[in-house]
Amino acid sequence: MNAYVAMPKGEGKFPAVMVFQEAFGVNQHIREITDRVAELGYVAIAPELFHRQAPAGFEVGYNEFQKIMPIMQTLTPETLLEDVTVTYNWLKANPSVAADKIGCIGFCLGGRVALLTNSALPVKAAISFYGGGAHTMADRVPSLHAPMLFFWGGKDQHIKREHIQTLNDALDAAGKPYICSVISYADHGFNCDARASYHPEASKEAWAMSVTFLKNKLA
């Protein structure tokens, strides 16, 4: 499995963040996010979660969703967990990483993977941007290891309010720490400047909260 890695400046042991891709691959947007995370002082890694179904470096345009539907249909929690576990263990073994300070952030497909990861691995923080289908993993909420930060677009036609409520109810029932931020004026994919749904203000606001969340939890 290939992965895109970005390192912070300097030497020493740094906290680390796994960056989970959208459904469109580890594309320029995800690489830029990974670079931004590294600039904040984290070892950042974005694994290619489609490596079983597609060649290394696979990515498609935001208007080519039909090309990834066959791939999406073959993804399973079991294989995704294999991939994120390998990524997590790679970080733990990296001499530049503080092994007890690892978190994750994911977008779209990756938002769901962030929740899945938090349920299976002892991460210290997890951030989910508009994670479609995350509500189908509500049964995993009692196993969460770390606080979750969720971002949703109020104008998102793919993720319904009842889906968000399903997750919130599960989190409340399990007594798990979380932040649920519904940005009423944002749509699905609002953080990605390569999408038509990009919302600059919502992106800046969500990113600022993410920076603070990571700093607090991975300090």
Catalytic residue among 187, 188, 192, 199: 188
Q: What are phi and psi of 112, to 5 degrees?
A: -70, -40
Q: In what order do the strands lie in the sheet with 148-153?
A: 3-6, 43-47, 14-20, 97-107, 125-129, 148-153, 178-183
Q: How big, in percent rounded to 5, are the helix, strand and coil portions of the chain?
A: 40, 20, 35
Respond yes or no: is residue 83 known to be catalytic.
no
Place of tokens 């319904």: 160
Place of tokens 């576990």: 85
DSSP bridge pairs for 129: 107, 151
Amino acid of residue 136:
T
Amino acid of residue 161:
R
Respond yes or no: is residue 29 known to be catalytic.
no
Catalytic residue among 83, 104, 156, 192: 156
Place of tokens 């263990």: 89
Are the C-beta atoms of residues 147 and 175 closer than 8 Å to each other? no
Respond yes or no: is residue 156 known to be catalytic.
yes
Catalytic residue among 29, 83, 104, 108: 108
Q: What are phi and psi of 210, to 5 degrees?
A: -65, -40
The catalytic site residues sit at 108, 156, 188
